Amino acid sequence: MAATRWALVAAGTVLVAGLGSGVASAVEPAATPTLALSVASGPPGAALTAKGAHFGAGHAVDLLVDRTSVGTAYAGATGSFTARISIPKSARPGRHTVSAVSGTRSATASFLVRTDWPQYRGDAGRTGANPTENVITASTVRTLKPAWQVRTPDDQGLVAVAGGAVYLPSATTLTALDAATGATRWTQHAQFGFFTAVAVGGGRLVTVNGNHVVALAPATGAVLWTSPLAGQLLSQPVVTPNMIFIEGDDNRDVGRVWGIDPATGAIRWTSVPPLENFGVSMPAYADGRVFAGTIGKLRAFDAGTGALLWTAPVDDALNRQTLVVTGGTVYFVGNHVNAFDAATGTHRWTTLLGNEVDTNPAVAGGCSTSVRPATVARPASGTSTTCTHWTRPSARSDGSSPTVPPGSAIRSWPAAWCTRVTQTSAPSTRVPAGWSGCGTTSASRRSSTDGCSPTRRAGSWPPSSRPDARGSPSPAVARRAQKTCWSSSGRPSAISSSTNVTNDGA
């Protein structure tokens, strides 16, 4: 036992002095501090766990992402801590430094910010929206420039972007490209027919190849499993952590929805009863339910068992596009936008569009958006306002669909026609500096002060450059048109036709 010396000090204070090693010393730990993150990449706003070690016992540790404070932790008796932090929503795509600082001691870790588009229409609900996008906005869309361009050997399907790669399906191949450079990482050749769409989730790349569902390793393209389905004309896969959903025709003009195990490819369930006609709209998923549309009907199935939950009649035109489900509402688009309660199938409202829409709707920011012309409907009531940002004088639809970053809706047209990027906003706000035309002469200016009107206003081509019956201008006009798009102010803005790096219609 260490010796102890007692002494009386002024005012009756007792002083205890320890001799030997019995009293702990408050010295800094000798080991170098460390910091580890639970995930190495994610979108702006991502929540993650930070773990630090070898800090001073009981000391406060400031946590930062670059120079932005994201919290304070306190080291325990062993000098370690665990804290939940969130990456700032303003963090741009790229590498960022997460720091833990306590006095003179510090540690750092790297976090890669990505705004992925991992499956068809962006997510399992098919919303066509990317709420974490913080670069492409209404104010920056006109500054977009081509990053790279890759020529594909044949017709391409619908791409997915995840983990720093672009996955491009085509008629004969499935190719992984580096998202930063466009360099080819690997290529897989079709074995069962055409590749269609791809989706990434749970460490797997899922694609439809003919009448087979195929899972591959995203990094190498190695086949993990193959699941043949007794059907054809399969839809784009919906990928969730616990299930993959496919809709298709079972070779007897009867539609089916399949639930597939993502780990093994085994079929867990097939929809009962079957869909009377081949599924018209691509399936969508949200909150444990899978939604599938047929001619005249909308159905909801339990995602885990395939049990039918409800059926709702839909009196609308044929639409081979996708359903959208978000915020407890399912949207079915044909000649109308129809809204249904996702839990019960109760019809909420209908908005007449005036003609059949052959593109996929997008839902975000309290509005649903479709094209032909650009129509914005308020989901709460169905009140609609037509915001005509630009109308192409062509009888042929190009089939592209809007996507929605925060604050605007963006649509791109095929590069062969001209790069046309348009934007709209919610009906309650002014359309901010939107594009109103694309061509070789100034487009019509808006006469409406709020940018939205129930009547159509269109930018126009000069008579000499009007498109032909096939929807294409003459080659000479096309070359000029590829160089100039006109803003609503009437001033030209040079944009290259090769800016369509994103997939048209995805």
The answer as to whether 13 is a domain residue is: no
Q: Is the pLDDT of residue 377 over 80?
A: no
* Cα–Cα dist 91/65, whole Å: 9
What percentage of the chain has pLDDT greater than the value 70?
59
Euclidean distance between CA atoms 439 and 490, whole angstroms: 11
β-pairing verdict for 105-113 and 41-42: parallel
Res 296: pLDDT: 77
131 or 266: which carries more pLDDT confidence? 266
Query: Would you say the C-alpha torsion 443, 447, 450, 454 has a positive or negative sign?
Result: negative
Integer Cα distance of 23 and 5 in angstroms: 14
If you average pLDDT over residues 434-445, what whole number do you get? Answer: 29
**pLDDT per residue as tens digits for the range 11-56:** 444 443 444 444 444 556 679 999 999 999 999 999 999 999 999 9
- Alpha-carbon distance of 247 to 256, in angstroms, equals 6
Please indicate whether residue 2 or residue 96 has the higher confidence score (pLDDT). 96
The domain total for the chain is 1
191-195, 311-315, 452-456: segment of lowest average pLDDT: 452-456
The string of pLDDT tens digits covering residues 136-175 is 877 787 888 888 888 877 767 788 999 999 999 888 889 9
Torsion of CA 262, 254, 168, 356, to 10 degrees: -130
- pLDDT of 426 reads 32
Domain hosting 45: range is: 34-113
CB 223 within 8 A of CB 242: no
Tell me the C-alpha to C-alpha distance, in Å, between residue 389 and each of 364, 404, 409, 490.
18, 15, 11, 13
Q: Which of 59-73, 340-354, 412-426, 461-475 has the highest mean pLDDT?
A: 59-73
The first and second tokens of residue 20, run together, are 């030997």
Chain-wide mean pLDDT for the chain?
Answer: 70
pLDDT digits (tens, 9 = 90+) for 279-331: 556 889 999 999 988 777 889 999 999 999 999 988 765 555 668 898 899 98
Report the pLDDT value the prediction gives residue 406, as an integer from 0 to 100.
Answer: 53
Determine, yes or no, domain membership for 81.
yes
pLDDT digits (tens, 9 = 90+) for 226-246: 998 876 667 788 999 999 998
Residue 105 counted as domain residue: yes
Report pLDDT for 488: 30
Distance CA 337, CA 125 (A): 16
Residue 80 lies in a domain: yes
Asked whether residue 38 is assigned to any structural domain, the reply reads: yes
Q: Is residue 66 part of a domain?
A: yes
| 8-state DSSP, 28 | P
Assess if residue 68 is contained within a domain.
yes
Q: What is the pLDDT of residue 359?
A: 65
Sign of CA dihedral 119, 121, 124, 130: positive
* pTM for the whole structure: 0.68
Question: What's the pLDDT tens digit per position in 205-216?
Answer: 999 888 889 999
CATH of the domain at 62: 2.60.40.1930
Answer yes or no: is 298 within a domain: no
